[in-house]
Chain A
Amino acid sequence: MASLTCPNCGKDNPDFLDDCQFCQTPLRREATLNIGENPTKKTTGELEGVLPDWLRDARQQARDSAEEEAAKEATKPKIQKEEPLDLLAGLAFQAASDEEEVPDWLSAINPVQDKKIPASSKSVDEDQPSDFFAQFEQSRQQPVDTSPTIPMPGEIGQDEPLPWMSDSAGSSQKDELADWFSQTSAQPNDPFAFDAGETQVGRMDSFDAAASQKPATPEQPEDLSWLRDLEASTKQQPSAPAAEQADTGWMSNLDSSSGNQEDLNWLNNLGGMPTPSSGSESKPEDLSWLNNFGGTPSLADEPVAPEQPAPSKDDDLGWLNNLGGVPLTSEPTTSQPASAGEDLGWLSNLGGTPAPEEPAKEDLSWLNNFGGTPVEPVSPQPAPSADDLDWINNLTGTPAPAQAEQGPAKEDLGWLNNLSGTGIDELPSTQPASSADDMGWLNDLGATPAATLGEPLSPQEVLNWLDNLGGTPATQSNEPAPVAQPDVPDWLKDMEAQQSIESAQPPQFSPKHTAPLSEDAKQEMPDWLKSATEASTSDSMPPLGAASSDWFTSREQPSDKRKRDEVPGQPSRLQTADQTQGSFVSAQDEPAPVDQNIFSTPSDSALANQDVDALFAVDMPDWLSQSESAAGEASAQMEALPAGSADELAPVDLPSWVQAMRPVEAAISEASAISADQTTEREGPLAGLRGVIPIAPIGSAQRPKAISLKLQATAEQQAGASLVEQIIAGETNANPLQVSPFVSSQRALRWGLTGLFLLVLSAVLALGLPFMPISAALPVEVSNVSNAIVTLPEGAPVLVVMDYEPSLAGEMEATSGPLLDQLVVLRKPIFTFLATSTNASGLVERLLTNTKINNPAPDGLGYQADSQYFNAGYLPGGLAGVRGFTEAPQTVLPAARVNRFSEFAAVILITDHAESGLVWIEQVTLAKQSDPALANQQFLVVASAQAGPMLRPYISSKQVVGMISGISDAARYEFVNNSRPGIVRSYWNAFGVGLFLAIVSIVIGSLWSLFTGIRARRAESEPG
């Protein structure tokens, strides 16, 4: 067998396990669901195909029968509803539970079934009690008639339901299980293979033995009318006549079957499915027919051991252990000696799992498996003397595959295996009913009243002990066995005695397994069935008489929750089958209501987890909406249970298919296993979430460390910083001006120079002495001016351009005075004064006055304004004005009195600016080039000493005829002009003295400056 290694503990586990059997860690990763992932929705209806064939057939038949019953319901009158429920009623009373509370996974198992089926089946059962279990129904309809005739152990009247069934009866729920049995028995049986050899249980031996110890019981006329229905079902088959014979036969032999040699082979035909070759017909008290009670047929061709070893005297009722489908291993059965004491512990398995311990004698633990889940596959094991009652295993749907191997069981009651729906086609009814055992206990099994058949019942023959099957355990659990009462039959007393003795002995019970009965079947068995089979051993019903009452009580008390587990409308068979799985659920329910809502939370915690539930309620099923905390609390509650209930609340081993639909649980368990150190929030919106808030304080590790604001610098760094501070402070502070004593001397020098020049020049001017001689030698350009004047025509218009500033008026008047005087004296020209400086127009009169031109004669030349000279005014426009004036003088300057520029015989430019003189020189030169009439036009320049050098090049280029520049030239020219007007001469002495002073000052001052400078530089260069 393959194994899976647990990721948590590392131990190996069988591959069919989903969770580790050691640490409960999920072994299959795919079954888990991590938080945040959406669980994949699984439709449980998909599991339909996984179901075994017999179960599917049973379901199909149930649907069919439901339809038939619904049709019959209209025609059949209802008899009685308030009747005590039969033995199995307690297992199926939840059929009418609300559908809303049924889990999805459970309801999806039989999605076709609807609610109408129980009602219809109920009516059918009431009207047509055709089978064995329908007999139970009728027996409840007449409880009053049977009550006085049946001795009830424990003084429990038959008219009232058994205590353990009272809840079921009181609930007025319809026993659907019985209905379902009745339905299935009424249907034709299909051939169904069943290995009687593997399912044989010798419990009937002990049962027979117990019955044989009761001498009076066979003498009582047994009311076996309830078997009519079973017979009726067999009549429908070809072997029906044989069954009838058997029916009557065993009835006739009832009285004679008082001895131990009771032959109950008549029961082989109880279900109409006698074994073809029953060599054990003659066997006394052969109850092996019950092997097929659950429908396990013994095929016609099956080799049946004709020689059945004589069973022990003890009637073994352990076959009923398998009535609920939970098989018991044959090993303890075989190992246990058949005892007379009847083991009523089979009832513990009636609704589910078998009890872990079971007394060997009078093993009635077959009831543990009545509606339960098979625990373990039963290995084929021959039980030579035991009757094969494992057919009951199939009551819950676990099919026993047909096997050729036949055990030595003589009476194969495997036909009963088909009670679950699988019909038997070939069932020879050659089995005679030879047994005369008192099977009145079966009457009481369903509380069958004798009045039903109209036959008197002998109290001794009635095995009323079964009335206590459900009632006595309730008291046995807390009280001394109430079974030991005066009305108890002897055989039952013996059973009680033996049971009490055996109870003191160490338990010899070992769980018995139901299907699969072979290895092939084991392989074909679905996983969920495997797990259920393996898990049911610990969750099964305890042995009858011990804690079984608690088990039943606990199953019935949380009726509301039990109702959730059942699907309304589902056949009782399926409900019983579900109860096999629900057995462990119910076991959990009783101490803590965690059956379906295993993760349900208490009300307070549920309120606290509303937010979490809302989160999971979006896409998850309802059962997933339970928070983890609820599950944890539920588990905590389970842990807090008393030790006594721990057996019932054994760890839940859900089938794999159930676990597959509970991914969140796996995720939660995984998360809890992985992150055990994470805390679960219990309050606030995060309640129920684990590990959301870290354990460590938030931000403790990420919070930046406190950094000291104090700079830690070394001494060297601090020294450097102080040095930088000093440098910066030195830059920001203003350096004080170094006031040297030399500055005062400079100011005194300026004032000394000023005073010197003022005093000397003032004295020279004041004295007026001509001590500076003037040279008569004229420069070339000055002599050209004199020559040009001579060449001018008499009274020719001469344009005098005044282009100097008032500041230089003294120099310019002195410089131009000798020229103008000479011109006026010689040629009497008509002057047109044109100023290109703004103030020059105002200097015209000054010039003429200072040169004595316009002064009246005899001091002046007597020139008259507007006749001999014209002040044309200011010529704006600079170069453009000069250009325009040269082109059209009167157009540009209407006061020009000339129309063409060439009309001017000479152009005298008096300027102290080289630029303006250039303009005039260039424009006049240009005008001469464009106008040939200007070729003889004399262009004379009177310039200041500063402008002279700049205009000298034009003299060299002959663009200017002559030029007088400065006082020195003017003095020479005046000297040549007979010292007229004399202005230059007046300035000449002062001019000479001033130049001398200037030269002397500059020389002396420069030498002094050079000396002081050298001294200062030496002083600066010297250290210190």
Chain B
Amino acid sequence: MRYITVAIAIASGLIVLLGYFYPLDALIQFRVMLTNWAIIVAAMAVLVGVANLVFVHMDKIRRREKNSIYGVLLIVSLLFTFGMGLVFGPNSQIVRVAMDAIIVPVEASLMAILAVTLVYASIRLLRRRADVMTVIFLVVAILFLVAVMPTPIGPIPGDFLLLQFLHMFSDGGARGLLIGIALGALLTSLRVLFGIDRPYGGN
């Protein structure tokens, strides 16, 4: 069984890879078919995840654990939204009210708390770690904020230079991260193709 899964994984990867290098219709069709299977499986995984969430909270309700009332609220809200979406569609007014009145304000509030927390953390940073990197971090953050900060007097002179200077560092860091991610993805793909890594299970 283990060899079968490995063979399927390697074959799928090789076919998709060959489809990139050799855009033959057969390979493309076969690649598309495999991709569709992956999309369907991923979609079902979302549903499985929703079902798992429901079962976990139902179990908590059944065991009458602490704060199980929130589980009841979650399950009721989920079933209600799911039912409204199935009945009225995702673009119905009911679904929009649920989104605009509940989801967006809640999540926006969290982002506001995050803003306050980040400020507080920045204030406490030198209290916990008063070193050069902390100072640099704080200085760069303050400079970036100052550069983007609207002022009543208009843009701060030299803000573009400051932004370009800051973007130089951020872009360099971002490129390094992206290159690293690309190399990591390539190596992982090769390991999966060679059967060294079997993230699909088969160890």
Q: A876-B42, A950-B177 given as contacts; is B171 within 8 A of A842 (CB)?
A: no
Within 8 Å by CB of B146, from A884, A997, A999, A1007, lies: A999
Q: Looking across the interface, which residue of chain B has its beta carbon closest to that of A871?
A: B91
Contact with A along B116-130 (1 / 0, CB 8 A): 101110111111101
Chain B residues positioned under 8 Å from A865 (CB to CB): 91
Instruction: Please state if A773 and B91 are interface contacts (CB–CB under 8 Å).
Output: no
Instruction: Please state if A949 and B130 are interface contacts (CB–CB under 8 Å).
Output: no
Q: How many residues of B contact A (CB 8 A)?
A: 66
Chain B residues positioned under 8 Å from A926 (CB to CB): 20
Q: Which B residues between 92 and 106 are near A, CB-CB below 8 angstroms?
A: 95-96, 98-100, 103-104, 106
Chain A, interface size category, equals: 35 or more
Chain A residues positioned under 8 Å from B170 (CB to CB): 949, 952
Chain B residues positioned under 8 Å from A257 (CB to CB): none
From A470-478, A699-707, A805-813, the one touching the partner chain is: A805-813
Within 8 Å by CB of A950, from B20, B96, B100, B174, lies: B174
Instruction: Please state if B178 and A1005 are interface contacts (CB–CB under 8 Å).
Output: no
Q: How far is the CA of A997 from the CA of B177 in the complex (A)?
A: 32
Instruction: Please state if B150 and A1002 are interface contacts (CB–CB under 8 Å).
Output: no
Within 8 Å by CB of A880, from B38, B103, B125, B178, lies: B38
Closest beta carbon of chain B to A426's beta carbon, Å: 120
Closest beta carbon of chain A to B156's beta carbon, Å: 10
Within 8 Å by CB of B150, from A749, A750, A880, A988, lies: A988
Within 8 Å by CB of B43, from A871, A877, A968, lies: A877
Chain A residues positioned under 8 Å from B124 (CB to CB): 746, 1005, 1009
Q: Which B residues between 139 and 180 are near A, CB-CB below 8 angstroms?
A: 141-142, 145-146, 148-155, 159-160, 163, 167, 170-171, 173-175, 177-178
Closest beta carbon of chain B to A577's beta carbon, Å: 103
From B1-9, B107-115, B193-201, the one touching the partner chain is: B107-115
Closest beta carbon of chain A to B34's beta carbon, Å: 9
Cβ of B83 under 8 Å from chain A: no
Q: How far is the CA of A865 from the CA of B90 in the complex (A)?
A: 13
Instruction: Please state if A842 and B99 are interface contacts (CB–CB under 8 Å).
Output: yes
Q: Looking across the interface, which residue of chain B has its beta carbon closest to that of A876?
A: B43
Chain B residues positioned under 8 Å from A952 (CB to CB): 167, 170-171, 174
Chain A residues positioned under 8 Å from B173 (CB to CB): 949
Contact with A along B2-41 (1 / 0, CB 8 A): 0000000000000000001001000010011001101110
Cβ of A564 under 8 Å from chain B: no
Q: A871-B91, A991-B150 given as contacts; is B103 within 8 A of A842 (CB)?
A: yes
Q: A839-B99, A846-B99, A949-B167 given as contacts; is B148 within 8 A of A966 (CB)?
A: yes
Chain A residues positioned under 8 Å from B98 (CB to CB): 842
Closest beta carbon of chain A to B150's beta carbon, Å: 4
Q: How far is the CA of A841 from the CA of B159 in the complex (A)?
A: 37
Closest beta carbon of chain B to A150's beta carbon, Å: 131
Instruction: Please state if A877 and B42 are interface contacts (CB–CB under 8 Å).
Output: yes
Cβ of B75 under 8 Å from chain A: no
Q: A878-B42, A1009-B125 given as contacts; is B115 within 8 A of A757 (CB)?
A: yes
Q: A846-B104, A1009-B123, A1012-B127 given as contacts; is B152 within 8 A of A773 (CB)?
A: yes
Given A876-B39, A876-B42, 19 extra CB contacts under 8 A = A753-B123, A772-B152, A775-B154, A842-B95, A881-B39, A884-B36, A892-B39, A949-B171, A950-B174, A956-B171, A968-B150, A992-B152, A998-B119, A1005-B122, A1009-B130, A1010-B130, A1012-B127, A1013-B127, A1013-B130
Residues of B within 8 A of A (CB): 20, 23, 28, 31-32, 35-36, 38-40, 42-43, 46, 90-91, 95-96, 98-100, 103-104, 106-108, 110-112, 115-116, 118-120, 122-128, 130, 138, 141-142, 145-146, 148-155, 159-160, 163, 167, 170-171, 173-175, 177-178, 181
List the 5 shortest-distance A-B pairs measured between CB atoms, nearest first.
A1005-B123, A807-B107, A877-B39, A1009-B127, A992-B150
